[in-house]
Amino acid sequence: MNQYSRWQNISILLIVLLSVIYAIPNFFGEAPAVQIMSLKSGEKIDPIVISQAENILNENNISTNGTILTDGYVKFKLENNEDQLTAKGLLEEKLGPNFIIALNLLPNSPNWLEAIGGQPMYLGLDLRGGVHFLMQVDLSNIEAKESTGKINEIRSTLRENKIRYDQIDVESGSIFVQFADEKDLKKAKALLTQTDSSFEFSKRINLGSTGNAPKIKELEKDNKFILTVASSAANKEEMTKFAIKQNLETLNNRINELGVAEPVIQQQGDNRIVVQLPGVQDTAKAKEIIGRTALLEMRLVDDEASPSIIDEAIAGNIPLGRELYYDRNDNPLLLKKEVILTGENINNAGPGVDNQTGQSIVSLTLDGKGANVFKKVTRENIGKRIAILLIEKELTEIITAPVIKSEIGGGRVQITGMKNAQEATDVSLLLRAGSLAAPMEIIEERTVGPSMGKENIQRGIQSTLWGFIAVILLISFYYMLFGIFSSIALTINLILLIAVLSTLQATLTLPGLAAMALTVGMAIDSNVLINERIRDEIRNGNTPQASIHLGYQKAWGTILDSNITTLIAGLALFMFGTGPIKGFAVVHVLGILTSMFSAILVSRALVNLYYGAKRKINKLNIGEIYKVNN
């Protein structure tokens, strides 16, 4: 009646053994390591570089403890903490600027454990220290930019087909074209719809939600013939997707330059990006690099504008199709709205010094498309000025606006007007890492200092450990031998939970550690239920063997019900939770599941082993049982 079959015992033992093995890596601590990454994110490290790096370390008597290749980068495990910084310096010097060397910590578990996939739990930022940013991508500008580019196209199409229009401009992201009569409008509409399907052409603007377009409203009131042009929904979606993708890539490149060992850069929701940088302590630098929304634009200066027009523009009356900006000496300049080139067309950028003036410069290499456009524009606008703008959040600045002296081909451009060498370096870094397609703003920041992380780990472990010891004492005292069985089951539950968390590589946070402690307190509930049931059955006059059997049988339904309701709460936490709540939920839910195994099967196996084979039991060692009247 109370005996598990041999295979049942063996499979329980096997699960317990496996969980012990996969829980072990958590107890080996961490070893210092250096990590080599390619400057361009996603590019794999060449095997030649690896052997090169190995040689460098060997020559300088830095003893390594293993080489690990993951996701295209190489990690060298070091034996001594002191070697870490030396190794970083040496590798940076010898391997050159095309590689980023980062410090890292790797699990110190023996190689055979790693070979079978044994890893320690993945610690969240609140336990290992680091920065977490949530960034909101501002997509409103994208549409406006797209519209500005579109104007040129419409203008030339209309001109080529000799359709006359009175004016064309953009307002609140919508382009509007004003015609003299209905006939022209219809002709233009038919023509434009034919040439471009990604835009929608309509006779009147939908002023509903996009609302704020006084100029268009004004014209409508006057019964003018207006054609409005707006991006189609599919096109908008496409642009948004592209912008987010570009921002993610740019962030990847920028963070790569920061030299963070294991960054997390992910899209969250439709227009958000999460960045997590474990171990980063210089948050100011990180924020500067990540948060810089620098966009580079090249536009033509309206050199025909007279001083009086400029004065009027300063007073707020800016001519259509123009925008007013100031250069570094606070001189106002009227720029054409059309953007010739943006940072996207830049392949490479580096700081330098102008041979003639000795000024700091940035030299750019444009991509094929950029080179062509630049060649064409410079050829057509000799004698005019071209402005180079650096746009950072609300601040737009004309860095320089040189006169075009001759056609510039080949895609090599120099930007003069840098304040100093440092600025030239910063601007090149930003341009090289790519610019953002859309500006971003940090809407959530969570920073945990390194000492705080260690403290949090200690707090979590102490809470769990002392709670665990107290519960074991309590249960063993109250239920005697059965309490000891329950305690062993509880220990195995904890090991199993650690093993599962390690294998799944679920993020462990401080609330997660709290959930682990709580699991200890709650998992014992199943054993309490069972033990109380067994006592009940003995009270009812059953034999010891029958009581064990009935106790487990009757408690099972209750345990299932109560655990499922707890699971429902746990799942809700997981689904709706973010950050700390999610961390709590993962451990909570897994803890409930592992407790079902350990509290029921493991404890039963122990009871069976001890009592199952005995023919005659006078009394179960389950503590004193008081008789009740029934």
Partner 1 sequence: MEFFRVKNDIPFMKYRKFSAAISIITFILAFFFLFQKGLNYGVDFTGGTIIEVSYQEKANLDEIREQLKSINLNEIQVQNFGTDKDVLIRLPINEQISIAELSETVNQELSVLGNNFEIKRVESVGSQVGEELFENGALAILFVCIGIILYLSLRFEWRFALSAVIANMHDVIIILGFFAFFQWEFNLTVLAAVLAVLGYSVNESVVVFDRVRENFRKMRRASVTEVMNNAITRTMSRTIMTHLSTQTVVISMLIFGGEILHNFSLALTIGILFGIYSSIMVGCPMALWLGTNHSNLAGSISEKKETESP
Nearer to partner 1, 373 or 452 (CB): 452
Number of Cα atoms under 13 Å in the Cβ half of residue 386? 26
State which of positions 104-163 bind partner 1 (CB under 8 A).
134, 136
Nearer to partner 1, 403 or 572 (CB): 572
Residues 345, 420: Cα–Cα separation, whole Å: 24
Q: Does 612 bind partner 1 (CB under 8 A)?
A: no
- Helix H or strand E encompassing 605: helix 603-607
Q: Does 585 bind partner 1 (CB under 8 A)?
A: yes
Q: Which residue has the tokens 């599962």?
A: 500
Nearer to partner 1, 22 or 133 (CB): 133
Residues composing the chain: 630
Q: Which part of the chain contacts partner 1 (CB under 8 A), choosing from 137-145, 162-170, 321-329, 557-565?
A: 557-565
Strand 264-268 relative to strand 225-231, pairing: unpaired
Side chain identity at residue 574, one-letter code: F
Q: Which part of the chain contacts partner 1 (CB under 8 A), choosing from 27-35, 325-333, 397-405, 440-448?
A: 440-448
Nearer to partner 1, 231 or 486 (CB): 486
State which of positions 499-518 bind partner 1 (CB under 8 A).
510-511, 514-515, 517-518
Residues 6+ apart with CB under 8 A from 28: 107, 108, 109, 110, 120
Q: Does 553 bind partner 1 (CB under 8 A)?
A: yes
Nearer to partner 1, 34 or 523 (CB): 523
Q: How far is CA 143 from CA 235, 318, 360, 461, 563, in A?
A: 10, 21, 35, 51, 51
Q: At what angle do helices 140-160 and 182-195 cross, to 10 degrees?
A: 110
State which of positions 370-399 bind partner 1 (CB under 8 A).
none
Nearer to partner 1, 69 or 443 (CB): 443
Least distance (Å) from partner 1 to the CB of residue 417? 26
State which of positions 519-538 bind partner 1 (CB under 8 A).
520-522, 524-525, 528-529, 532, 535-536
Phi, psi of 15 (to 5 degrees): -60, -45
Nearer to partner 1, 505 or 565 (CB): 565
Residues touching partner 1: how many (CB under 8 A)?
89
Nearer to partner 1, 224 or 446 (CB): 446
The distance in angstroms from the start CA to the end CA of the chain is 28
Q: Does 270 bind partner 1 (CB under 8 A)?
A: no
Region at 410 (left for phi over 0; alpha for psi -120 to 50; beta for the rest):
left
Q: At what angle do helices 579-596 and 450-504 cross, to 10 degrees?
A: 40
Q: At what angle do helices 6-23 and 450-504 cross, to 10 degrees?
A: 150
Total Cβ atoms within 10 A of residue 107: 19
Q: Does 402 bind partner 1 (CB under 8 A)?
A: no
Nearer to partner 1, 235 or 283 (CB): 283
Q: Does 577 bind partner 1 (CB under 8 A)?
A: yes
Residues 587, 496: Cα–Cα separation, whole Å: 12
Q: Which part of the chain contacts partner 1 (CB under 8 A), choosing from 110-118, 223-231, 397-405, 451-459?
A: 451-459
If we measure between CA atoms, which residue out of 230, 377, 354, 231 comes closest to residue 297? Answer: 377
Residues 515, 313: Cα–Cα separation, whole Å: 63
Q: Which part of the chain contacts partner 1 (CB under 8 A), choosing from 215-223, 281-289, 317-325, 328-336?
A: 281-289
State which of positions 291-330 bind partner 1 (CB under 8 A).
291
Q: Does 460 bind partner 1 (CB under 8 A)?
A: yes
Nearer to partner 1, 191 or 457 (CB): 457
Q: Which part of the chain contacts partner 1 (CB under 8 A), choosing from 88-96, 259-267, 317-325, 562-570?
A: 562-570
Least distance (Å) from partner 1 to the CB of residue 445? 4
State which of positions 467-486 bind partner 1 (CB under 8 A).
467-468, 470-471, 474-475, 477-478
Least distance (Å) from partner 1 to the CB of residue 399? 23
Residues 6+ apart with CB under 8 A from 81: 32
Strand 507-508 relative to strand 122-123, pairing: parallel
Residues 260, 251: Cα–Cα separation, whole Å: 12
> Which residue of 423, 459, 491, 612 would you call a contact of partner 1, by CB under 8 A?
459
Q: Does 578 bind partner 1 (CB under 8 A)?
A: yes
Nearer to partner 1, 236 or 549 (CB): 549
Nearer to partner 1, 131 or 295 (CB): 131
State which of positions 587-606 bind partner 1 (CB under 8 A).
588, 600-601, 604
> Which residue of 169, 367, 392, 455 would you call a contact of partner 1, by CB under 8 A?
455
Residues 6+ apart with CB under 8 A from 128: 278, 279, 450, 453
